[in-house]
Amino acid sequence: MGSIILGLFTAASLLIWTALPPTLQALGIHPETPAPDIKLPGKRALIITTSQGFMPETGQITGVWAAEMTGPYYAFHDAGLQVDLASIRGGKIPIEPGSTDWPLASAADQRFLSDSDFRFKADHAAPIAQIDFTQYDLIFVAGGWGAAYDLGQSEVLGKHLSQSLAKGIVHGAVCHGPLGFLKAQNAQGQPVLKGLHLTAVSDQQVQELGIGHTPLHPEHEMRAAGAIYEKQSHLLDTLATHVVVDQGIVTGQNQNSALAAAYQMLQLLKTKENL
């Protein structure tokens, strides 16, 4: 009898193990996003992340949500671009615990875990102060809860993004990543976010995830900066997917939108190069 019970338990566990990830995907987590047939060899992409690895209010470990870094990385890499990583302070990029584990890991996350080159880059990111943003063709700002603590507060990031935006480089951001544009200005010295149509993680999702204690909430901050914020809702905002393109800036609502945003950036760059 004991062996039968053990066998049933093992079978049930295996069923849950195999069925939960596709079930979550069907609900909206890491949706299937077909890659465009775009090759841009010789071009360069920069992915920027947080350096904040914990929440001071709670002591909880945090960082970048893995799929917001890994999905765009492989989207750009597979299109033939050289992809570099940078973070606010440089060094090892903190990654949200659990975001590379079952059942939340995306296909890109799993690929990252066995990619020694990418993992080396993530362990030795350059500090943004040492990067010339204008030497890139694509610039993507990843999110994650750690981003609430340093992206929107960084004068250096705002200055560098102001320079790269003035050059007409294609930019993108997802989830908390749009906070990185808070201190960026246009040629007239006005906030680049003013009047810009965009999306970012919603106030509702912040409530759903119980992270209201973080210092900056993207929807609130985007609206306060004069941006025209929009979002999509699903069963939960956490399960929604939405991408907005305006003035060469591509924004994704949350972690589920990272790949779609990256692919849209590639399409914009291809269009730009064909002009």
Half-sphere exposure of 202 (CA within 13 A, CB side): 20
The reply to whether 223 falls in a domain is yes
Is residue 213 a part of any domain in this protein? yes
Indicate whether 9 belongs to any domain.
Answer: no
Asked whether residue 172 is domain-assigned, the answer is: yes
Residue 92 lies in a domain: yes
**pLDDT tens sequence across 193-220:** 999 999 999 999 999 999 999 999 999 9
* Tally of domains in the chain: 1
Pick 5 or 146 by higher pLDDT: 146
pTM to 2 decimal places:
0.94
For residue 148, the enclosing domain spans 40-274
Classified as helix, coil or strand, 14 is helix
Say if 6 falls within a structural domain. Answer: no
Which of 8-17, 125-134, 223-232 is predicted least confidently? 8-17
Strands (E), the chain: 44-49, 82-87, 126-127, 138-141, 170-174, 197-198, 228-229, 243-246, 249-252
Residue 25 within any structural domain of the chain: no
For residue range 14-49, what is the model confidence (pLDDT) as tens digits? 445 466 888 888 888 889 899 999 999 999 999 999
In a domain, 178, yes or no: yes
CATH of the domain at 249: 3.40.50.880
